[in-house]
A = this chain, B = another copy of it.
Amino acid sequence: MQFTAQQIATLIQGRLEGNPHAKVSDVAKIEEAVSGSLCFIANPKYEEYLYVTKASIVIVNDSLELMQPVSATLIRVKDAYSGFAFLLEKYNEIISGNEKRGIEQPSYICTTATIGNNVYIGAFAYVGENVIIEDGVKIYPGAYIGNNVVVKENSKIYSGVKIYDECRLGCRVVIHSGSVIGGDGFGFAPLSDGTYKKIPQIGNVIIEDDVEIGVNTTIDRATMGSTIIRKGVKLDNLIQVAHNVEIGENTVIAAQTGISGSAKIGRNCVIGGQVGMVGHIHIADGTKINAQSGISKSVANPNITLNGSPAFEYKSSLKSQAIFRNLPELQQRLLKLEETVQELTALLSIQNLEYKK
């Protein structure tokens, strides 16, 4: 699907500056935009990007004064951010207008379950004993809701999601297909004969309001107590969250990252893809972690950026990585130096001998 500058300007009642036929098929940050991207600039500190961006359309504040020529088509509105947010709302409305209501058959709903109003329960969905499904919740076909689970208002459980017994979901939680909430934590006690005895995992998972969880992500229940995903957290696909982990408000984690047992992650962290984190550590608020990093110890100070496996401070890490690349040259230089020093030593010995004569 593509939209023209003219269509967008009309929708958000903006003033068009540039090519009205410019087309976008993607939404991007101004600093990452490519041809075909729609962006917005609300914060003046991003204005510098306006003159170099490859974005096709940028929504800007009406008050913006251009310092240089701009290649993108601009759409001016009173408040660029509100304009952009309004655009998103419009899309969301169109999409949710098509959404389903009612209970499809065959589905399996235990008589002890409580089902709110305006709910959608798809065919082959399973709702266990004493489950509470609040108003406006959507449960897509083939989803499984275990006993005693609570799903609060307007949450959306996509097809094939599995939620084990006792877990609790807040309002407006979205869980995409194939994700599993509340599977047993990985806890086994080693016995003297080399076998393992299962440690019962009798806790649950609590997911607070406005959390969105991607596809095929796994969040294990606590051994005892709760694994907790705080308000506003966004998890991508194929992420592993082990037992007793806590992820702080508004933290964002990219795909295939794994968080080991009992790790506590602060608020507003931004964690890249394929990151690994050992158990029982604390990550301070606002920590940023680069993709593929391995976090082997706690991060005490907030707002630090980490990189590498094992990870350390981002800029130092980049330096080490650059030198790693040149290790063969470095080794060569060391070798040459050794030779030179050996020659010098030899020479000096002779001199010394001669000198002492």
Question: Which B residues lie within 8 Å of A252 (CB)?
Answer: 188, 196
This chain's copy number in the assembly: 3
Cβ 8 A contact of A123, one of B108, B194, B199, B203: B108
Scoring A178, A202, A340 by chain B CB atoms within 10 A of each residue's CB, the highest score goes to: A178
Question: Which B residues lie within 8 Å of A69 (CB)?
Answer: none
A247 to chain B, nearest CB (A): 14
Is A155 an interface residue when CB atoms closer than 8 A count as contact? no
A214-B276 contact, Cβ under 8 Å, with A1-B202, A122-B126 = no
Cα of A316 to Cα of B276 in the assembled complex, Å? 21
Q: Which of A111-146 contact B (CB under 8 A)?
A: 122-124, 126, 140-142, 144, 146
A292-B276 contact, Cβ under 8 Å, with A126-B159, A142-B142 = yes
Chain A residues with a Cβ closer than 8 Å to the other chain, count = 122
A240-B256 contact, Cβ under 8 Å, with A184-B176, A309-B292 = yes
A234-B196 contact, Cβ under 8 Å, with A34-B280, A214-B184 = yes
A189-B84 contact, Cβ under 8 Å, with A91-B202, A202-B91, A334-B333 = yes
- Write the A192-203 contact mask toward B (1 if CB under 8 angstroms, else 0): 001111111011
Known: A2-B224, A3-B224, A323-B327. 12 other contacts (CB 8 A): A27-B223, A108-B141, A126-B159, A142-B144, A142-B162, A144-B160, A180-B215, A320-B324, A320-B328, A323-B331, A341-B341, A344-B348
Residue ranges of A at the interface with B (Cβ–Cβ < 8 Å)? 1-3, 24-27, 32, 34, 36, 84-85, 88, 91-92, 95, 98, 104, 106, 108, 122-124, 126, 140-142, 144, 146-147, 158-160, 162, 164, 176-178, 180, 183-184, 186-189, 194-200, 202-203, 210, 212, 214-216, 218, 220, 222-225, 232, 234, 236-238, 240, 242, 244, 249-250, 252, 254-256, 258, 260, 262, 267-268, 273-274, 276, 278-280, 291-292, 294, 309-310, 312, 316, 319-321, 323-328, 330-331, 333-334, 337-338, 340-341, 344-345, 347-348, 351-352, 354-355
